[in-house]
Amino acid sequence: MDEGVTIGDGSSIWHLAQVRHGAELGENVIVGRGAYIGEGVHVGNNCKIQNYALVYEPAYLEDGVFIGPAVVLTNDHFPRAVNPDGSAKSASDWEPVGVTLKEGCSVGARATCVAPVTVGRWATVAAGSVVVKDVPDFALVAGVPARRIKWVGRSGFPLDSDGETADGKLTWVDTRTGDRFVEENEILTLVEEGSATANTEVSK
């Protein structure tokens, strides 16, 4: 670890990981073997960054984010090792752009998020996907480039259709938590939080 790293209570960093100057890790964060956390990266509480993930600055992770093994969060629109005159690029020759991961979202193993993109609250990026545009809250995206294929709840499981509202909007339910949602214009909104735990099925 470089100097000037902030690490919250209960956090653990495994061997061969590298955490750069100015990075901020919240409480109960796990950084796996061989992972890289760039300069000034913010990692919220209760995040898990798995083995060999590369979190380049200026990424920003809110609380409860999961980053799978070998995930890459990029930070350069137009990468080059050298300038047109053949001289090596330095830090002053480009401006980093970051990936933002919102509360509770998950990025699966070997997925790549091409900055600048935002992955929404409780969304899921499937393993091996390449994210090139913002991911809505509660969306499950997959593929190259990644596209939404389903909606997922806070439990991480796909939502079940629950009919329509009186004005024709689609409704969805997470049968493990009881959370209920309304979909409008490709945006999903949590309208009622259930009282069930993530391991308990509830009736629709």
Higher-pLDDT residue of 131 and 89 is 131
What average pLDDT does the segment 125-130 reach? 98
For residue 86, the SS3 value is: coil
Residue 29's Cβ-count burial label (10 Å; 0-12, 13-18, 19+) is buried
Residue 55 has pLDDT above 90, yes or no: yes
* Terminal Cα-to-Cα distance of the chain (whole angstroms): 49
- CB atoms under 10 Å from CB of 149, counted, come to 12
Q: Structure pTM?
A: 0.92
* pLDDT at position 169: 93
- pLDDT one-digit tens code per residue, 66-120: 999 999 999 998 889 998 999 998 888 888 999 999 999 999 999 999 999 999 9
What topology does CATH give the domain 6-152? Answer: UDP N-Acetylglucosamine Acyltransferase; domain 1 (2.160.10)
Task: Compute the distance between CA of residue 135 and CA of residue 144 in angstroms, rounded to an integer.
Answer: 14
pLDDT-derived band at 196, boundaries 50, 70, 90: low
In the chain, % of residues over pLDDT 70: 96
**Domain spans, the chain:** 6-152, 155-204
Q: What is the pLDDT of residues 18-27, one digit of tens each?
A: 999 999 999 9
Mean pLDDT on 187-197: 87
CA-based torsion, 134, 49, 38, 102: positive or negative: positive
